[in-house]
C-alpha cells in the first residue's frame, strides 16, 4: 500500500510537469550507394531524433535534442561476435545528446538573458558556408552536409541595448571536429611528401589535445548585432582553437633494406583569434549576404625526421602555419523568379579546412530549384560547388562536387529524397582526392 501511495504521489506531481513538455522529433532512414565499386553501400543510417522543450515559467525555458541511431555496418569477426548485439558488432548503434540547455530570461537584469548547457552557437549570415562560425566544432561526418556542427557545453549571455544585442560566450572545454566517415576522410588529408625510392607501408599518428585547463582549452567569443541602413549586421571577436589538427611532427623510419618505410605523425590544434563581420539584407527583390573572418594564428612549426642515403638521418624544421593574418570571406545572393524558379549562388574564399596566407582557394556554390504539384515536388537539377585552385590554369586545377536532387512530400511531415553526389577534380585540391567516390542516395524523413 505504501508503494502504491508513493506511485500516486509521483504521478500527481509529474503529470502537470509532463503536460508542459512539448515533444517532437523525426524518424530518418538514409542510404548511399557507390556508382563505382559495384554499387557498394557506403552509408547506412537509421535515426530517431527526439526534441523536448518547455517553459515552466515566464523566466525559464529548457530544450534538449537526443539522437538515437543505427549507423555503419555489422562488424563481427568471429562466430562468438554474432552473439553480441552491441554498438560494434552485429547491430552498431549510438546515442548522442546534440543539445541540452536552460534559458534564464531577465537574469539579475531585465535586459540580460542567459543560456547554460550544451548548445549550438551559430554565427554568420551566409548559407552553410560561414567563416565566422568558429565556436562549435565542425561535424564533418557527412561531407555533403555543409555547415553542420556539434553542440558545446557553454554559457551564453545576451544583453539588449535598444536595437542592438551584445552577446558573450564562454566554452570551458575544447572539442575537436568530427572527420568525414570512411574513405571520404581523404578529402581533408594531404598525402605526405616522401623521399624518392621509398614505399610507405604503415602510418601511425598521435593527436596532442590541449590540456583541460582554462588557459589551454577554453574558447571565448563576443559579438554585437544590430541594423545599419536596413541591413542586419554583426561584428564579432573569438579566441578559440582550430578544430582540425595540423601536422607538426613527421618522422620516417626504414622497415627493411628494400625501401619500405614506416611514418609517425604528430598533430596539434593551433590557437586562433578571429575578427568577424557579416551582413544580410535585400537589394530590391534580391536577397544578399556577405561574411568575412580575419584569422590570427600562433606560429606552428613542422619538425621532420627523414632518412638520407649519405647522412643516415636528417632533421628539418619548417613553418607549418605562419603568424601572418589571413582572411576568409563569402558573398552570396538568392532570387525567386516569377515562374517559380529559385537560384542561390555564393562565392567563397577559403574553405573550412584551409589556413594560412596564400593557401586559400576559391569556391563557387550554386543551386537552382523549383517546386511543382502545389509544392509537393521539388526539383533541383543544378546543385553543386566548384573548387578553383589556380585561375591561371583552370582546365588542370578545377574540382566539382554535387548533383541533381528530387524531393517529394506526399504530406507536410514526410519527405522522400533521391539524388546523386558526383565528384570530379584535377590538380591537388579538395575534390581531386575523392573523385572516384560518386554516389547515389535515398533518404526518407518523417517529422512528428
**pLDDT tens profile 368-397:** 999 999 999 999 999 999 999 889 888 888
Question: Which of 77, 105, 133 is where one domain is finished?
Answer: 105
Phi, psi of 67 (to 5 degrees): -120, 125
**pLDDT tens profile 235-293:** 999 999 999 999 999 998 887 877 788 889 999 999 999 999 999 999 999 999 999 99
Q: What is the Cα–Cα distance from 436 to 441, expressed in whole angstroms?
A: 16
pLDDT of residue 74: 87
The residue that leads in pLDDT, 208 or 10, is: 208
Q: Is the pLDDT of residue 6 over 80?
A: no
pLDDT of residue 307: 76
Q: What is the Cα–Cα distance from 242 to 221, expressed in whole angstroms?
A: 14
Q: Residue 393: inside a domain, yes or no?
A: yes
Average pLDDT of the residues of the chain: 91
Cα–Cα separations (whole angstroms), residue 36 to 33, 42, 60, 404, 439: 9, 11, 53, 18, 8
**pLDDT tens profile 139-150:** 999 988 888 999
Give the predicted TM-score (pTM) of the model. 0.89
Q: Name beta bridge partners: 329.
A: 292, 349
pLDDT of residue 421: 96
Q: Residue 111: inside a domain, yes or no?
A: no
Q: Residue 249: inside a domain, yes or no?
A: no
Q: Cα angle vertex 236, ends 232, 240, to 5°?
A: 145
The cell numbers describing 138, all together, are: 565542425
Question: Which of 89, 105, 121 is where one domain is finished?
Answer: 105
Place of cell 536532387: 405
Q: What is the Cα–Cα distance from 355 to 145, expressed in whole angstroms?
A: 21
**pLDDT tens profile 20-45:** 789 999 999 999 999 988 889 999 99
Q: Name beta bridge partners: 262.
A: 202, 253
Query: Which residues, in sequence order, are CB contacts of 444 under 8 Å at separation 6+?
Result: 28, 29, 30, 414, 415, 416, 417
Question: Which of 90, 105, 120 is where one domain is finished?
Answer: 105
Which structural domain, as residue segments, surrounds residue 385? 361-448
Q: Residue 198: inside a domain, yes or no?
A: no
Q: Is the pLDDT of residue 181 over 60?
A: yes
pLDDT of residue 15: 55
Q: What is the Cα–Cα distance from 204 to 201, expressed in whole angstroms?
A: 10
Q: Residue 47: inside a domain, yes or no?
A: yes
pLDDT of residue 116: 98
The total of structural domains in the chain comes to 2
Q: Residue 123: inside a domain, yes or no?
A: no
Q: Residue 308: inside a domain, yes or no?
A: no
Q: Is the pLDDT of residue 84 over 90?
A: no
Q: What is the Cα–Cα distance from 233 to 169, expressed in whole angstroms?
A: 18
Is-contact 299 322, C-beta < 8 A? yes
Burial class (CB within 10 angstroms; exposed 0-12, middle 13-18, buried 19+) of 300: buried
Is-contact 329 292, C-beta < 8 A? yes
Q: Residue 162: inside a domain, yes or no?
A: no
H-type helices in 163-286, by residue range?
A: 214-217
For residue 343, give the H/E element and its range: strand 342-349
CB-CB neighbours of 386 under 10 Å? 17
Amino acid at each position: 500500500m505504501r508503494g502504491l501511495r508513493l506511485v500516486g504521489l509521483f504521478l500527481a506531481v509529474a503529470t502537470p510537469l509532463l503536460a508542459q513538455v512539448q515533444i517532437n522529433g523525426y524518424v530518418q532512414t538514409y542510404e548511399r550507394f557507390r556508382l563505382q565499386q559495384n554499387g557498394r553501400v557506403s552509408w547506412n543510417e537509421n535515426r530517431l531524433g527526439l526534441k523536448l522543450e518547455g517553459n515552466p515559467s515566464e523566466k525559464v525555458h529548457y530544450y534538449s535534442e537526443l539522437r538515437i541511431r543505427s549507423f555503419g555496418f555489422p562488424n563481427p569477426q568471429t562466430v562468438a561476435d554474432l552473439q553480441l548485439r552491441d554498438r560494434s558488432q552485429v547491430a552498431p548503434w549510438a546515442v548522442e545528446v546534440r543539445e541540452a540547455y536552460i534559458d534564464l530570461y531577465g537574469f539579475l537584469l531585465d535586459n540580460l538573458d542567459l543560456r547554460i548547457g550544451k548548445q549550438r552557437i551559430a554565427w554568420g549570415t551566409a548559407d552553410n558556408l560561414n567563416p565566422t562560425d568558429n565556436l562549435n566544432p565542425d561535424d564533418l561526418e557527412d561531407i555533403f552536409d555543409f555547415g553542420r556542427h556539434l553542440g558545446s557545453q557553454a554559457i551564453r549571455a545576451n544583453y539588449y541595448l535598444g536595437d542592438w544585442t551584445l552577446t558573450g560566450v564562454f566554452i570551458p572545454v575544447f572539442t575537436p571536429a568530427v572527420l568525414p566517415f570512411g574513405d571520404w576522410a581523404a578529402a581533408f588529408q594531404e598525402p605526405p611528401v616522401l623521399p624518392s625510392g621509398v614505399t610507405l607501408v604503415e602510418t601511425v599518428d598521435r593527436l596532442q589535445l590541449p590540456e583541460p585547463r582554462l588557459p589551454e582549452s577554453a574558447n571565448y567569443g563576443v559579438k554585437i548585432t544590430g541594423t545599419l541602413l536596413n541591413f542586419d549586421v554583426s561584428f564579432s571577436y573569438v579566441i578559440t582553437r582550430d578544430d582540425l589538427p595540423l601536422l607538426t611532427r613527421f618522422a620516417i623510419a626504414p622497415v627493411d633494406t628494400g625501401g619500405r618505410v614506416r611514418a609517425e605523425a604528430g598533430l596539434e590544434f593551433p590557437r586562433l583569434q578571429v575578427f568577424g563581420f557579416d551582413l544580410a539584407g535585400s537589394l530590391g527583390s534580391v536577397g544578399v549576404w556577405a561574411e568575412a573572418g580575419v584569422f590570427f594564428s600562433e606560429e606552428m612549426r613542422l619538425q621532420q625526421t627523414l632518412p638520407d642515403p649519405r647522412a643516415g638521418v636528417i632533421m628539418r624544421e619548417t613553418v607549418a602555419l605562419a603568424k601572418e593574418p589571413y582572411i576568409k570571406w563569402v558573398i552570396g545572393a538568392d532570387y525567386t523568379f516569377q515562374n517559380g524558379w529559385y537560384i542561390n549562388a555564393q562565392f567563397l574564399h577559403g574553405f573550412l579546412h584551409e589556413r594560412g596566407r596564400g593557401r586559400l582557394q576559391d569556391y563557387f556554390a550554386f543551386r537552382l530549384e523549383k517546386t511543382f504539384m502545389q509544392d509537393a515536388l521539388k526539383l533541383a537539377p543544378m546543385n553543386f560547388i566548384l573548387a578553383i585552385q589556380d585561375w591561371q590554369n583552370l582546365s588542370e586545377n578545377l574540382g566539382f562536387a554535387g548533383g541533381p536532387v528530387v524531393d517529394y512530400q506526399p504530406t507536410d511531415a514526410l519527405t522522400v529524397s533521391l539524388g546523386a553526389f558526383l565528384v570530379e577534380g584535377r590538380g591537388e585540391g579538395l575534390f581531386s582526392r575523392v573523385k572516384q567516390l560518386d554516389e547515389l542516395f535515398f533518404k526518407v524523413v518523417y517529422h512528428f
